[in-house]
Amino acid sequence: MSEMQQKKVPLLEMKGIDKSFPGVHALQNVDFSLEKGEVCAILGENGAGKSTLMNILGGIYQMNAGKIQIEGKEVTMRNAHDAEMQGIAFIHQELSLFPQMDIASNIFIQELPKKGTLLNSRKLNKDTEEILKHVRLSHRKPNELVGDLKIGEQQLVEIGRTLIRGIKVLILDEPTSSLSSAEISTLFDIVRELKAQGTAIVFITHHMDEIYEICDTLMIMRDGKRITKCGVRDISRAEVVNMMLGRTAEEQYSHPGRTYGKEVLAVKGLTRQGKLKNIHFNVRAGEMVGLYGLLGSGRTEVLRSIFGLDKFQSGEIIYMGDPVRIRNPKEAISKGIAMVTEDRHKEGLVLEESVRFNMTLANLKAIQAGAFINRNKEKGLSEKGVEALRIKTPSVKRTVKFLSGGNQQKVVLAKWLNTNPKLILLDEPTRGIDVGAKQEIYGIVENLLSKGVAVIMVSSEVPELLGVCDRVVVLRNGEQVCELVNDDKLQPGTLLEAAMGGD
pLDDT at 18: 95
pLDDT exceeds cutoff 60 at 137 = yes
H-helix or E-strand spanning residue 288: strand 288-292
Instruction: Tell me how far apart the alpha carbons of residues 4 and 115 are, in angstroms, rounded to a whole number.
Output: 48
Q: How do residues 384-442 score in pLDDT, each as one tens digit?
A: 778 877 888 888 888 888 877 778 888 888 888 878 889 999 988 887 665 567 777 88
For residue 355, CA distances in Å to 176, 417, 431 come to: 44, 14, 20
Domains present along the chain, CATH in parentheses: 9-245 (3.40.50.300), 263-500 (3.40.50.300)
Between these two residues, 350 and 89, which has the higher pLDDT value? 89
Residue 101 is predicted with a pLDDT of 87
Q: What is the mean pLDDT of the chain?
A: 85
472, pLDDT greater than 90: yes
pLDDT grade for 2, boundaries at 50, 70 and 90: very low
CB contact at 8 A, 40 and 203: yes
Instruction: Say what the pLDDT of residue 37 is.
Output: 94
Question: Does 249 have pLDDT greater than 60?
Answer: no
pLDDT category, 322, cuts 50, 70, 90? Answer: very high
CB-facing half-sphere around the CA of 298: CA atoms within 13 A? 27
- Sign for the pseudo-dihedral over CA of 361, 362, 364, 366: negative
State pLDDT tens for residues 99-134.
888 888 888 877 777 777 787 788 888 888 888 888
Distances from the Cα of 6 to the Cαs of 9, 70, 168, in angstroms? Answer: 9, 17, 22
Q: For 161-199, what is each residue's pLDDT tens digit?
A: 887 777 899 999 878 766 777 788 888 998 999 999 999
**For 35-85, what is each residue's pLDDT tens digit?**
999 999 998 876 788 889 999 999 999 999 999 999 999 999 899 889 988
Kindly write down the DSSP assignment for every residue of 344-400, as one continuous string: IIIII--TTSBHHHHHTTT-GGGGEETTEE-HHHHHHHHHHHHHHTT---S-TTSBG
Q: Please give the pLDDT value at position 466.
A: 87
User: For residues 184 and 27, is the Cβ–Cβ distance under 8 A?
Assistant: no
pLDDT band for position 489 (cuts 50, 70, 90) = confident
**Tell me: the pLDDT tens digits for 260-292?**
999 999 999 999 988 899 999 999 999 999 999
Q: Please count the other Cβ atoms lying within 10 Å of the Cβ belonging to residue 388.
A: 13
Q: Is the pLDDT of residue 321 over 80?
A: yes
Q: Give mean pLDDT, residues 363-387.
A: 71
Q: 133 with 139: CB under 8 angstroms?
A: no
Query: Identity (one letter) of the amino acid at 389?
Result: L
Phi-psi label, residue 370: left if phi above 0, alpha if psi -120 to 50, beta otherwise: left
Give the separation between CA 64 and CA 24, rounded to whole angstroms. 13
